[in-house]
Amino acid sequence: MGEIIRSLVTGKEVRISPSSLNTLTACERKWFFEKIMGLTSPSTPSQRLGQVVHWWLEQYLTGTLTLDQMEAPADPEKFHAWAKRSFDGHNKRREGEDPIQPFEITDGLQIAVIGIKMGTCPDPVEGREAYVEIRVQGRIGPLRYLGFADYAEQCEAEGLTARLIVDHKTTKNYYWAKSPAQLSRDPQMLFYAGAIWLTLTDDGTWAAPDDGGPLTVRHAYYHTTGGRPPSKIVEPPDPVPWSVVIENMGRFERGAIRMAGLAKLTDPDQVMANTSACKDFGGCPYQDRCSRSPRNRAQRSASQIIERASTMTTTAERLRQRILARRGGGADPTTAEPDVSPV
């Protein structure tokens, strides 16, 4: 089983995931605030809408709902009330976060329906093994991992097993969508593919499936503000080599080792901060707590200026007092009337 690494601050287990490794890579101190100190921030409206869209797609992919039921429910009022209860039971709210609102449920449904009708959402067909919200768990390096992949399927083709893994993405702007080349090296997609299909051998190395069948990774994008097209697919033109998936697992193992080392610390000032990432994705929510953030550096600079001015004033006063003492208590040179008598 191996040792369970825990935070010395909260006592909670430290795990690795694609999102936590992304955070660590962007800024180790931000990762420390979240995973070691246990700080969280409420979901943004965009994140909440993304969660709702994911939930609706899951209902469709698991066969809980048909497209007809989603488009034209027999009793819309009861249907939406059921959806809100089910979503709330499925998604844990963060501390300080408001309950999901009815309009968010409705907006998410409309976005999901458009994506399904356009074929952006995968449509499981007979003869393929399809998996929805696949739970992936295990250990990599010193840390355990636990996550959920949106969708995966495999089917036999010409004596090989063709494998596909899909991640649903909501966005306000396709500018942020990954290119096919970026997607073929995307750490999250490769990690989930590895966690699902790779085998960890007795000597601790990762091995590709015996058949070596092709692996396809896909991002299914759903536009949330009426952009064109309303949804689209990004997919590399060629299968991803299994060697790239194995290499990515090595990157995660190195990240897990780094996280385990940082878990031994208790002071965020002991952890490296990347100030160039402070404004990423709308701004780091922990800038007020970070001594290296531009916001706090500006405040410190202002305080230092005030402190220097105060010091200069104090020094000037001491000099004035020394001059008065040497004059035997004569007139204060800073306040004495100037001599304006004619020469």
Both tokens of 231, joined, read 């949804």
Q: Does position 298 have pLDDT exceeding 80, yes or no?
A: no
Computed over every residue of the chain, the mean pLDDT equals 87
Both tokens of 122, joined, read 């995968």
Both tokens of 278, joined, read 């402070």
Q: Does position 8 have pLDDT exceeding 70, yes or no?
A: yes
pLDDT tens, residue by residue, 187-240: 999 999 999 999 988 888 999 998 889 999 999 999 999 999 999 999 999 999
What pLDDT, on the 0 to 100 scale, is given for residue 121? 94
Higher confidence at residue 310 or residue 232? Answer: 232
Higher confidence at residue 134 or residue 342? Answer: 134
Overall pTM surpassing 0.85 (yes/no) = no
Contact (Cβ atoms closer than 8 angstroms) between residue 16 and residue 259? yes
Q: Does position 343 have pLDDT exceeding 50, yes or no?
A: no
- The arithmetic mean of pLDDT across residues 162-178, rounded, is 95
Q: Residue 230, exposed/middle/buried by CB under 10 A (0-12, 13-18, 19+)?
A: middle
pLDDT tens, residue by residue, 148-159: 999 999 988 778
Contact (Cβ atoms closer than 8 angstroms) between residue 27 and residue 258? no
Residue 197: closest CA among 143, 264, 129:
129
